[in-house]
Amino acid sequence: MSTKADESQHPKFNSRKVTVVYVLGGPGAGKGTQCTKIAKEFDFCHLSAGDLLRAEQNREGSQYGDLIRTCIREGTIVPMEVTIKLLEIAMSKEIESRTSGNWSNGKGRFLIDGFPRKMDQAVAFDETVCSASLVIHFTTTEDVMLQRLKERGKTSGREDDNDESIKKRFRTHIEQCMPVIQHYSKLGKLLEIDCSGSIDDVYELTSEAIGRLLS
């Protein structure tokens, strides 16, 4: 994978045709869980930045494998060029594969889960790939997130679902991700959803917000 930017067209996707929703929240807040449900009901493509990075980490011949592994274990943010390129490739593939279906004429809907995590990523993606229409921020306490991660860690096999990595991921969330959330709040694009309740309760609030966006 080359991270060389395509400078022929900026942004690559027109936000009037391609709807992008960023889904943010601390580690274990439930972003992936809610995105899976929304994608199914509202015909969104769900792209988890973390999942794309893990797949690239495990791809034979990837020059970024070691870098990604270290960042994930340490709870730090992978340089934006890598993550943005992975997202851009995944979006292009999805649009290409759906041109004969509901997404005709290059239209599309993307839930981008766990991205942008840092200000440089937010600015670069909005400017060069596609500007987000909405930013959902799932909020709850670290205690709730910790319990969810501990439970998930029993079976997830994720290298970062351990006490040491979780502590670092919480710190990164506060130091790097919160400024991104404040940025979108100032732009009037932020919707905060309390995710302390059950999966179904949180989904009710989330699906209402997505319904409003699409109406």
Ligand X SMILES: Nc1ncnc2c1ncn2[C@@H]1O[C@H](COP(=O)(O)OP(=O)(O)OP(=O)(O)O)[C@@H](O)[C@H]1O
- Interface with ligand X (CB under 6 A): 25, 27-33, 50, 114, 148, 151-152, 195, 198-199, 202
Residue 24 CB, nearest approach to ligand LLZGTKA7 (Å): 9
Helix (H, G, I), strand (E, B) or coil at 48: strand
Minimum distance from residue 35 beta carbon to ligand X (Å): 8
Q: CB 102 → ligand LLZGTKA7: shortest distance, Å? A: 27
| Token pair recorded at residue 44 | 């969104």
In the list Mg ion, ligand LLZGTKA7, ligand X, none, the entry touching 115 (Cβ below 5 to 8 angstroms by class) is ligand LLZGTKA7
CA pair distance 1, 67, nearest whole angstrom: 14
**Any idea what DSSP says for residue 106?**
G
Which residue number is nearest to ligand LLZGTKA7 in terms of Cβ?
50
Binding to ligand LLZGTKA7 (CB under 6 A) within 36-65 occurs at 48-50, 53
Q: Quick one: which segment of 28-36, 76-84, 150-158, 173-181 binds Mg ion (CB under 5 A)?
A: 28-36
Residues 6+ apart with CB under 8 A from 30: 138, 148, 195, 199, 202
* Count of positions on this chain that bind ligand LLZGTKA7 (CB under 6 A): 18
Distance separating alpha carbons of residues 195 and 163, to the nearest angstrom: 22
Sorted by sequence, the CB contacts under 8 Å of residue 39 that are 6+ apart come out as 45, 46, 111
Helix (H/G/I), strand (E/B), else coil: 94: helix
Q: Considering the complex, state which of residue 87 and residue 95 has its C-beta at the smaller distance from ligand LLZGTKA7.
A: 87
Cis omega (within 30 of 0) for bond into 11: yes
String marking each residue 89-118 x if it binds ligand LLZGTKA7 according to CB under 6 A = -------------------------xx-x-
The partner in contact with residue 117, picked from ligand X, Mg ion, ligand LLZGTKA7, none with C-beta cut-offs of 5 to 8 angstroms by kind, is ligand LLZGTKA7
Paired tokens of 214: 């699409």
Judged by CB, which is closer to ligand X: 97, or 141? 141
Which residue in 32, 65, 153, 197 binds Mg ion (CB under 5 A)? 32
Cα separation, 107 vs 19, in Å, equals: 8
Which residues, 6+ apart, have CB-to-CB distance to 124 below 8 Å? Answer: 80, 84
